[in-house]
Amino acid sequence: MRVFRPRGVRVLSTGAALPAREVTNEELAALGVPLAPDEIVRLSGIRARRWAAPDEATSDLAAAAARQALARAHVAPADVARLIVATVSPDRLSPSAACVAHRALGLGRAPAHDVTASCSGFLYALDLAARAVATGEEPVLAIAADIRSRFLDLGDRATCALFGDGAAGALVGGGARDGEGLVAIGLEADGSGADAVYVPAGGSREPASAETVAARRHAIKMAEGPQVYMQAVEGMLDTGRALLDAVGLAWSDIDLVVPHQPNRRILDRLARLAGIPLDKFIVNVDRLGNVSGASCALAFDEALTTGRARPGDRILLLAAGAGYTAGAALYVVDDALTAASQSV
């Protein structure tokens, strides 16, 4: 894994947006899913998740998260240099969700585009944002947003209870002091997992038709659940270790782990294999489920707004997802970010 070590790049603020509707396991059971509420908890640790309203689209959540980040940093929309939205559930196949959010936010003529990296989406967006800032373009909004509830087959035991909706992200700029801000970030992909978790129809390989709808080919499929589970741990563990090696640190040097939240059992295994107590992890999967690319960003925002992340803390962000994709980032918190996080 190549590790990018940007100079002077920092997060100015974060923002998050969750749909109002909370769907508990009991409500899912009432909808007829083939899992009992306590079985969902046993298998995944998930007790509830948020689902978007029928009139809510991914760009709406992305724009709401972006607005919060801008307000916290006291940055006007017109001053944003670029908008990146990481999503696998855009409003439409074309144009990008970023362009729809761009219109909602009033970002002037700033470029806007999506990035598709599934549950690693936020770190892929953060990497792009850091590279833009490092080459003189700032500030950049790196938002991850997904509404995966639209792509669920409620009759599929493997996926029906896992996913929630939401958005979160960061406004990324320059001015970090030495040793603070985004210290390092690294990404990986392994296309051998391209069919591990996927939505079969609706693209150019299998266009939408009456048959694809009838066969539920527009829903998320995950045939090899145990392998995906193990791969999620392996992706976060291996990229985390590679990143730490690159900067000369050990797992024990990390103050707070901010991981993607696919399943509580996955986080338990990750903590055990990394040798880090789970109380050093931000865990929200029990309340929010797997919010795909936004999970890691939601956890990052939660770490900052709840005061779990303090100035000087070394935060390790980890993500892994379909594709397969994975990534890790080391972030050292500064006073300005914690102040901004408490401001709105």
Partner 1 sequence: MSGGDVAPADARALVRAALDAIGAALPADDDAPLGIDSFSIVLLVEELEAQLGRRIPAREVRRERFASIAAVAALVASLKDALA
The residues annotated with a catalytic role in the active site are 119, 260, 290
Binding mask 180-209 for partner 1 (x = CB under 8 A): ------------x-----------------
Closest by alpha carbon to 258, among 215, 310, 295? 295
- Cβ distance 142 to 170 under 8 Å? yes
Q: Does 42 bind partner 1 (CB under 8 A)?
A: yes
Q: Does 231 bind partner 1 (CB under 8 A)?
A: yes
Comparing CB distances to partner 1, the nearer of 116 and 227 is 227
Tokens of 190: 């392994």
Asked if residue 242 lies in contact with residue 173, where contact means CB atoms within 8 angstroms, the answer is no
For residue 160, the tally of other CB atoms under 10 A from its CB is 20
Point out which span in 50-58, 91-99, 140-148, 225-233 binds partner 1 (CB under 8 A).
Answer: 225-233
**Residue 41 interacting with partner 1 (CB under 8 A):** no
Site for partner 1 contains 43 (CB under 8 A): yes
Q: Choose between 162 and 304: whose C-beta lies nearer to partner 1.
A: 162
For tokens 């696919």, what's the residue? 262
Q: What one-letter code names the amino acid at 134?
A: A
Give the binding range for partner 1 (CB under 8 A) out of 110-118, 135-143, 221-229, 303-311: 221-229
- Choose, by CB under 8 A, the member of 28, 52, 64, 233 that binds partner 1: 233
Q: Minimal distance in Å, beta carbon 251 to partner 1? A: 15
Binding site for partner 1 (CB under 8 A): 42-43, 158, 192, 223-227, 229-231, 233-234, 265, 269, 273
